[in-house]
A and B are shown apart, each in its own frame.
Chain A
Amino acid sequence: MQLWQDFVNNAMLGTDKKTAAVDTLPAPLKEAATLVMQQPIDREEQFLRIASLVFNYRQCGVSALQQAVAPLADVAEAEEKPYCSTRAMQVLKDIMEEDNFPLLSRWLQLCAEKGQLVQPDLLPALLSLGRQYKKLQPLLTNSCGKRGAWLSRLNPEWNFSIDATDEEIWQTGAPEQRKAVLQSVRTATPDLARQWVQATWPQEDANTKTELLGILVDGIGEADMPFLESLATEKSKKVKELAIVLLKRIPASSIVQQYLEVLRNAVVLKKEKALLGLSSKQVLEIQLPANVDENIFKSGIEKLSSTKGVSDEDHILYQLVRSVPPTFWEQQLGMTPSEVLTLLKKDSKGKHLLGEIASATVTFGHRDWAQALVQTVDTVHVDLLPLLPVRDQDDYILKALGKGHADEAIAWCASRSGTWSLELTQAIFRYTARHPYQYNRTFYSQVIEQLPLAITADLPGLQPAEEHFKTMWTNISTHIIKLAGLKNQLHQSF
């Protein structure tokens, strides 16, 4: 309103410099203002009185803006699925306040499984969390329904909830989204994932290339070889090196074949007479040939040992054993994995190779070898855990906890889905209770989904004997009980 603005401008300068202009006032105000001006009062009082008139004239005359404005991006479509219960919403709110990612993700999962939707009040807060926790995005798309999709059309920051095909996301999505979609495609159809990467390869920068190659590790196979071999001419050293690392994981690759060739000449099983020639026994001879194929040193095998007590020759041998599939031993010696391991265990040189075979088992993902290693070898190799059937894992973890590999074993448990057994949980807590600085509340928050609810009853009994850990354990126990309560409510509310 210009009239009011004139008065504000007047007031800015002050009545010393400028007096109120009565002439420009509209008729009804002018009459009143003229009366004010006629009164024997000072200029300030005159200004205040007339300005007060204009002030109320302005506020009494307010009307809404009459303008045709298009409604927002259409109206959100009606939902087809039902909303979740008020109780479930309350639990969701509590979980969000607790900022607990595993429970939040479980809540969304259950909501999706039951074919329900989040009530609209919490959608903005939830979608904002989706920006923070990228892994939640697919779940959010599911549980936020059509209202969520509508909101994300208005707020580009939430656009992950827009339905798009995997290929569209791959071609146009943000780096994180592209990686996520590539990962899932790689798991389902490895070849398609590689073809996608090949198609966009020239457009990617070196960093992205490294990250994409990293994803291809999962499900690597012979079909990937031509592509990986073509990367020998890449500009980036990082990419080139990673391509070699990947090739080394493919048994049919020329690199692995080179190594196998050397090993074939190095490992021989001989029969020796024993007990004055009355019986014979099998003796393993492991000796690198005098002239080793020099090509193996071009793909990363080190010539010189830097470990005290390990000769250069042994060092090369260990590296080669680590780099070939353990099936080599089956073929070379004509034995089952357990027989090979038993034989190596007895052999003075062979027993040093057991750790390398374990590494190779992990690299090439041989489940039968993993099982054989766990049964035959006393040393614990935590890396083997993912290759074991779940029922064997628990026993092996309990063994690892007692043999100084607790942290790695616990890290694996924390990354594994599915509820821990009560016995396993007790064993883990007995250890973590005595390391409260490393295993603080954050740890328990992260593993709450895996904890069996029954553990809450055992918490007092798991209190460490050391006085200085006792209070910390009491606090941690309260935290666990609280989270367990939330988890319980979560499962009951769906």
Chain B
Amino acid sequence: MHLSEEQVLALAPDESSKKSGKDLSNPSKWVSKGANEAALWGECQGSGSKPYQTQVDRANIAFKCSCPSRKFPCKHGIGLLLLHARQAASFTDTEAPAWVSEWINKRTEKQEKQTEKKEKPVDEAAQAKRQQARQQKVADGISELLLWVKDIIRNGLLNMPDKDAAFFENIARRMVDAQAPGLANMVRSLGELNFYREGWQSEFLDQLLRIYLVTTGYTHSEQLPEGLQQDLRNFIGFTQNQEALKEQAGVLDTWLVMGKQTTEEDNLTIDRSWLYGVNSNSYALILQFTVRGQGAVAVPLTPGIFIEAELVFYPSAIPLRAIIKKQINSNGVAKYKGFANWQEVTNAETSYSSLVPFRSDRPYIIEQLRPVQHQQQWWLQDSSHALMPISADFRNIWKLLALSGGAPLNVAVIGKEKSFMPIGVWHDQLYKLL
């Protein structure tokens, strides 16, 4: 796989790594360097007497370096990839030295072993007991949360902006204790609402009703279809056994990494990568969590590239979240088919909301959208002149305009209802991030 400079820089864990990586992309810093189909390697002269041995697995992007840095990938990995992006021809050595081939072989072996790994016998009785105990805890938490919600409804939202952070935080902590971290997050986001923004009342009620729907839905889940039950469990915060998930058959496809959003919560970095499968015409959300300063995401997904991979979707009435079961390689550019107009998008939205009313944002690729201005706001106009507002939080309107020049473009957006955030566009047949 050949990554462009932009894609390499997107892999860097922070700004300073980007900067140091760029400095290290100078050929004079490398004592030796080489590349073949499987790997990219080089020896970089650092401050020590022995040069650092840096290596990159090219089939499934992975890094290893003998430097002591805790960052991942380290600046040497970034520098080596950058140098390769700029001057691939200067990597004349194709014979991998022992330290490289050993690592690559180990990685392949490990992957094979992982697939062979047998499940340990499970003590079913103990497991059932644990589950029962948790369900009881969650049920207790839910009844407490419901009382809290009803209190708000009884007294009115009017005085919500005056509440201090503890008002929301206390009940959120209670939900954590009740082993319902999903609910805890939903409650926290209520408190994090911008009460100075016009229309906060509607946003607040939306979120409150979502909490209500999830809690009541979960309490009566035995009457609901299987898919929706799973969605409710996910929203409450029950985790899915990823290993078990990986056992299932997945969707093998060429996926475009449409975009990545990184957020930080406490000490946790959450990468949300939005994918689109060109053959299955389906969308996926890959969530990857890393504890700050400790290692990297299992599968680095570079926005803007196509990857060949098998994805397993989490069980849901409207599947979106998925995990990567196997990544085969990344290459080239593939054809895709988006929604033809907003009508098609809203139809899809209606069916999603009818199945899961409390659902979150979803990604869409829509063809031939034109940015237009109407009532002092930016909109995306489709080929049949229907308009949808661009999210007020969108910061790159001028970049979108520059790429469009007033002409229609194929646009990737994330959102729901009447708020869509453009994340990328196709310009000259190339996918460009916004």
| Residues of B close to A482: CB separation below 8 A | 23
Indicate if A389 sits at the interface (CB-CB under 8 A): no
Q: Which of A55, A66, A90 has the most CB of B within 10 A?
A: A55
Does B205 lie within 8 Å of A14, measured CB to CB? no
Indicate if A61 sits at the interface (CB-CB under 8 A): yes
Residue of A nearest to B151 (CB): A44
Does B387 lie within 8 Å of A69, measured CB to CB? yes
Does B372 lie within 8 Å of A72, measured CB to CB? yes
Q: Which of A72, A90, A94 has the most CB of B within 10 A?
A: A72
Does B153 lie within 8 Å of A12, measured CB to CB? no
CA distance A159 to B70 in the complex (A): 48
Does A12 lie within 8 Å of B402, measured CB to CB? no
The majority secondary structure among interface residues of chain A is: helix
Does A45 lie within 8 Å of B150, measured CB to CB? yes
Mask: chain A, 289-319; 1 = CB below 8 Å from B; 0 = not:
0000000000000000000000000000000
Indicate if A170 sits at the interface (CB-CB under 8 A): no
Indicate if A151 sits at the interface (CB-CB under 8 A): yes
| Residues of A close to B346: CB separation below 8 A | 62-64
Does B357 lie within 8 Å of A56, measured CB to CB? yes
User: Which one of A116-124, A214-222, A419-427 contacts B?
Assistant: A116-124
Does A64 lie within 8 Å of B201, measured CB to CB? no
Does B406 lie within 8 Å of A73, measured CB to CB? yes
Does A86 lie within 8 Å of B156, measured CB to CB? no
CA distance A420 to B342 in the complex (A): 60
CA distance A69 to B372 in the complex (A): 7
Does B153 lie within 8 Å of A69, measured CB to CB? no
Q: Which of A4, A5, A61, A124 has the most CB of B within 10 A?
A: A124
Does B357 lie within 8 Å of A52, measured CB to CB? yes
Does B212 lie within 8 Å of A52, measured CB to CB? yes
Are A124 and B398 CB-contacts (below 8 A) given A52-B212, A150-B405? yes
Does B357 lie within 8 Å of A17, measured CB to CB? no
| Residues of B close to A147: CB separation below 8 A | 402, 405
Indicate if A485 sits at the interface (CB-CB under 8 A): yes
| Residues of B close to A155: CB separation below 8 A | 398
| Residues of B close to A81: CB separation below 8 A | none
Residue of B nearest to A44 (CB): B150
Mask: chain B, 350-385; 1 = CB below 8 Å from A; 0 = not:
100110010000000000001111100001011001
CA distance A389 to B240 in the complex (A): 79
| Residues of A close to B22: CB separation below 8 A | 94
Indicate if B418 sits at the interface (CB-CB under 8 A): yes
A residues 476-494 near B (Cβ < 8 Å) are: 478, 481-482, 485, 489
Does B209 lie within 8 Å of A151, measured CB to CB? no
CA distance A59 to B150 in the complex (A): 23
Instruction: Tell me, rounded to whole Å, the shortest Cβ–Cβ distance linking B197 to chain A.
Output: 14
Indicate if A114 sits at the interface (CB-CB under 8 A): no
Are A17 and B402 CB-contacts (below 8 A) given A8-B205, A90-B5? no
| Residues of B close to A67: CB separation below 8 A | 374, 385, 387
Are A11 and B157 CB-contacts (below 8 A) given A71-B370, A76-B406, A151-B398? yes
Does B387 lie within 8 Å of A56, measured CB to CB? no
Does A48 lie within 8 Å of B209, measured CB to CB? yes
Indicate if A174 sits at the interface (CB-CB under 8 A): no
Does A62 lie within 8 Å of B417, measured CB to CB? yes
CA distance A15 to B342 in the complex (A): 37
Q: Which of A47, A68, A485 contacts B26 (CB 8 A)?
A: A485
Instruction: Tell me, rounded to whole Å, the shortest Cβ–Cβ distance linking A17 to chain B.
Output: 7
Q: Which of B202, B385, B387 contacts A4 (CB 8 A)?
A: B202
CA distance A384 to B402 in the complex (A): 48
Does B418 lie within 8 Å of A62, measured CB to CB? yes
Does A120 lie within 8 Å of B427, measured CB to CB? yes
A residues 48-102 near B (Cβ < 8 Å) are: 48, 51-52, 55-56, 59-76, 86-87, 90, 94
| Residues of B close to A154: CB separation below 8 A | 401
Mask: chain B, 277-302; 1 = CB below 8 Å from A; 0 = not:
00000000000000000000000000
Instruction: Tell me, rounded to whole Å, the shortest Cβ–Cβ distance linking A188 to chain B.
Output: 34
Instruction: Tell me, rounded to whole Å, the shortest Cβ–Cβ distance linking A117 to chain B.
Output: 12
Indicate if B154 sits at the interface (CB-CB under 8 A): yes
Q: Which of A43, A147, A489 has the most CB of B within 10 A?
A: A147
CA distance A215 to B353 in the complex (A): 68
Are A71 and B209 CB-contacts (below 8 A) given A47-B153, A61-B350, A65-B386? no
| Residues of A close to B58: CB separation below 8 A | none
Indicate if A13 sits at the interface (CB-CB under 8 A): yes
Mask: chain B, 404-423; 1 = CB below 8 Å from A; 0 = not:
01110000000011100000
Does B201 lie within 8 Å of A12, measured CB to CB? yes
Q: For the side of the interface on B, what is the size category?
A: 35 or more
Q: For the side of the interface on A, what is the size category?
A: 35 or more
Q: Which of A52, A64, A72 contacts B406 (CB 8 A)?
A: A72
Indicate if B10 sits at the interface (CB-CB under 8 A): no
Does A150 lie within 8 Å of B202, measured CB to CB? no
Does B354 lie within 8 Å of A42, measured CB to CB? no
Residue of A nearest to B15 (CB): A97
Indicate if B60 sits at the interface (CB-CB under 8 A): no
B residues 296-350 near A (Cβ < 8 Å) are: 342-343, 345-346, 349-350
Does B150 lie within 8 Å of A124, measured CB to CB? no
CA distance A16 to B357 in the complex (A): 27
Indicate if A469 sits at the interface (CB-CB under 8 A): no
Indicate if A364 sits at the interface (CB-CB under 8 A): no
Does A44 lie within 8 Å of B388, measured CB to CB? no
Instruction: Tell me, rounded to whole Å, the shortest Cβ–Cβ distance linking B4 to chain A.
Output: 7
| Residues of A close to B107: CB separation below 8 A | none
Indicate if B59 sits at the interface (CB-CB under 8 A): no
CA distance A44 to B156 in the complex (A): 11
Indicate if B155 sits at the interface (CB-CB under 8 A): yes
Q: Which of B208, B343, B353, B432 has the most CB of A within 10 A?
A: B353
CA distance A120 to B399 in the complex (A): 8
Does A64 lie within 8 Å of B399, measured CB to CB? no
Are A71 and B205 CB-contacts (below 8 A) given A16-B156, A90-B5? no
Does B402 lie within 8 Å of A121, measured CB to CB? yes
Q: Which of B158, B212, B370 has the most CB of A within 10 A?
A: B212
CA distance A484 to B371 in the complex (A): 41
Does A120 lie within 8 Å of B405, measured CB to CB? yes
Instruction: Tell me, rounded to whole Å, the shortest Cβ–Cβ distance linking A187 to chain B.
Output: 34
| Residues of A close to B399: CB separation below 8 A | 121, 124
Mask: chain A, 328-343; 1 = CB below 8 Å from B; 0 = not:
0000000000000000
CA distance A485 to B82 in the complex (A): 14
Mask: chain A, 10-36; 1 = CB below 8 Å from B; 0 = not:
011111110000000000000000000
| Residues of A close to B157: CB separation below 8 A | 11-12, 14
Instruction: Tell me, rounded to whole Å, the shortest Cβ–Cβ distance linking A45 to chain B.
Output: 7
Does A11 lie within 8 Å of B205, measured CB to CB? yes
B residues 4-54 near A (Cβ < 8 Å) are: 4-6, 22-23, 26
CA distance A77 to B282 in the complex (A): 35
Indicate if B2 sits at the interface (CB-CB under 8 A): no
Indicate if B86 sits at the interface (CB-CB under 8 A): yes
CA distance A189 to B238 in the complex (A): 79
CA distance A62 to B347 in the complex (A): 9
Residue of B nearest to A154 (CB): B401
Indicate if A7 sits at the interface (CB-CB under 8 A): yes
Does A123 lie within 8 Å of B382, measured CB to CB? no
Instruction: Identify the A interface with B (CB < 8 A).
Output: 4-5, 7-8, 11-17, 42-45, 47-48, 51-52, 55-56, 59-76, 86-87, 90, 94, 120-121, 123-124, 147, 150-151, 154-155, 478, 481-482, 485, 489
Query: Could you name 15 residue pairs across A and B whose Cβ atoms are closer than 8 Å?
Result: A8-B202, A11-B156, A11-B201, A11-B205, A12-B158, A14-B154, A44-B154, A59-B353, A62-B350, A64-B343, A69-B373, A71-B381, A76-B405, A121-B403, A481-B26
In the complex, given contacts A56-B353, A66-B386, what are 10 additional A-B residue pairs having Cβ atoms less than 8 angstroms apart?
A14-B156, A17-B156, A55-B357, A60-B353, A72-B401, A76-B406, A90-B6, A120-B427, A151-B398, A478-B23
Instruction: Identify the B interface with A (CB < 8 A).
Output: 4-6, 22-23, 26, 86, 149-150, 153-158, 201-202, 205-206, 208-209, 212-213, 342-343, 345-346, 349-350, 353-354, 357, 370-374, 379, 381-382, 385-388, 398-399, 401-403, 405-407, 416-418, 427, 432
